[in-house]
Amino acid sequence: MPPSSAKAKKTSTVILSPEELRKIDAYWRACNYLSVGMLYLQDNPLLRTPLKPEHIKNRLLGHWGSDPGQSFTWVHLNRLIKKYDLDLIFLSGPGHGAPATLSNCYLEGVYSEVYPDKSQDEAGMQKFFKQFSFPGGIGSHCTPETPGSIHEGGELGYSLSHGFGAAYDNPNLIVTVMVGDGEAETGPLATSWHSNKFLDPICDGAVLPVLHLNGYKIANPTILARIPQDELEALFFGYGWHPYIVEGDDPKIMHQKMAEVTEHCINEIRDIQSKARSSKSKSPDRPRWPMIILRTPKGWTGPKEVDGHKVEGFWRAHQIPILDPKTNPKHLKQVEQWLKSYKPEELFDASGRLIPELRAMAPEGTRRITANPHANGGLLRKPLDLPDFRDYAIKVKKPGQIEVSSTFTLGGYLRDVIKRNMTSFRVFGPDETASNRLQLMYEATSKSWMAEIFPEDADGTDIAPGGRVMEMLSEHTLEGWFEGYVLTGRHGFLSSYEAFVHIIDSMFNQHAKWLEKSKLELRWRAPISSINLLITSLVWRQDHNGFTHQDPGFLDVVANKSPHVTRIYLPPDANCLLSVANHCLCSTNYVNVIVADKAPHLQYLDMDEAIKHCTKGIGIWDFASTDAGSEPDIVIACAGDIPTAEALAAVAILREHCTDLKIRFVNVVDLFRLMPESEHPHGLSDREFDSLFTVDKPVIFNFHAYASLIHKFTYRRKNHDNIHVRGYKEQGNINTPLELAILNQIDRFDIAIDVIDRVPKLQATAAHTKEWLKDKIIESVNYAHKHGIDHKDITDWKWPV
pLDDT for 687 equals 97
Q: How buried is 587 (Cβ within 10 angstroms: 0-12 exposed, 13-18 middle, 19+ buried)? A: middle
389-601 shares its CATH topology with 618-795 = yes
Neighbouring-strand partners of residue 90: 176
Over 80: is that where the pLDDT of 5 sits?
A: no
Alpha-carbon span 600 to 405, nearest angstrom: 4
Over 80: is that where the pLDDT of 173 sits?
A: yes
pLDDT for 7 equals 43
* Percent of the chain residues past pLDDT 70, beyond the cut: 99
pLDDT for 9 equals 45
Over 90: is that where the pLDDT of 801 sits?
A: no
602 — phi, psi (to 5°)? Answer: -60, 145
pLDDT for 8 equals 38
pLDDT for 287 equals 95
Reported CATH class of domain 389-601? alpha beta
pLDDT for 327 equals 97
Q: What would the pLDDT profile of 471-486 be if each residue is shown by its tens digit? A: 999 999 999 999 999 9
Q: What would the pLDDT profile of 108-140 be if each residue is shown by its tens digit? A: 999 999 999 999 999 999 999 999 999 999 999
Over 80: is that where the pLDDT of 2 sits?
A: no
pLDDT for 282 equals 72
pLDDT for 369 equals 98
pLDDT for 1 equals 45
The arrangement of secondary structure in 18-374, i.e. its CATH architecture, is 3-Layer(aba) Sandwich (3.40)
Query: What is the separation of C-alpha 348 from the centre of its chain, rounded to a whole number of angstroms?
Result: 40
> Which of these CATH numbers, 3.30.470.20, 3.30.70.141, 3.20.20.70, 3.40.50.920, describes 618-795?
3.40.50.920
Neighbouring-strand partners of residue 202: none
Q: What average pLDDT score do residues 146-154 get? A: 94
pLDDT for 12 equals 57
Over 50: is that where the pLDDT of 551 sits?
A: yes
Query: Whose CA is closest to 60, among 336, 319, 357, 399?
Result: 319
**Structure pTM?**
0.96
Q: What average pLDDT score do residues 387-398 get? A: 98
Alpha-carbon span 560 to 381, nearest angstrom: 28
Neighbouring-strand partners of residue 665: 636
- Per the CB < 8 A criterion, the answer to whether 739 and 781 are in contact is yes
pLDDT for 331 equals 98
DSSP state of 389: G
pLDDT for 462 equals 87
Mean pLDDT of the chain: 95
Q: What would the pLDDT profile of 93-106 be if each residue is shown by its tens digit? A: 998 899 999 999 99
Mention every residue, 6+ apart, whose C-beta is less than 8 A from residue 368.
Answer: 108, 109, 110, 362
- Cα angle vertex 660, ends 654, 665, to 5°? 50
Query: What is the separation of C-alpha 231 from the centre of its chain, rounded to a whole number of angstroms?
Result: 33
Alpha-carbon span 67 to 101, nearest angstrom: 8
By DSSP bridging, strand 425-429 and strand 618-620 are unpaired
Q: What would the pLDDT profile of 309-340 be if each residue is shown by its tens digit? A: 999 999 999 999 999 999 999 999 999 999 99
Alpha-carbon span 374 to 84, nearest angstrom: 18
pLDDT for 763 equals 87
Query: What is the separation of C-alpha 111 from the centre of its chain, rounded to a whole number of angstroms?
Result: 26
pLDDT for 458 equals 85
Q: What would the pLDDT profile of 579-634 be if each residue is shown by its tens digit? A: 999 999 999 999 999 999 999 999 999 999 999 999 999 999 999 999 988 999 99
Beta-carbon-side half-sphere exposure of residue 83 (alpha carbons within 13 Å): 13
Neighbouring-strand partners of residue 41: 56
- Give domain limits for the chain: 18-374, 389-601, 618-795
Alpha-carbon span 252 to 23, nearest angstrom: 11
Query: Whose CA is closest to 205, among 366, 374, 426?
Result: 374
Q: Which of 12-16, 180-184, 232-236 has the lowest mean pLDDT?
A: 12-16
Torsional class of 168: left (φ above 0), alpha (ψ -120 to 50), beta (otherwise) = beta
Alpha-carbon span 522 to 524, nearest angstrom: 5
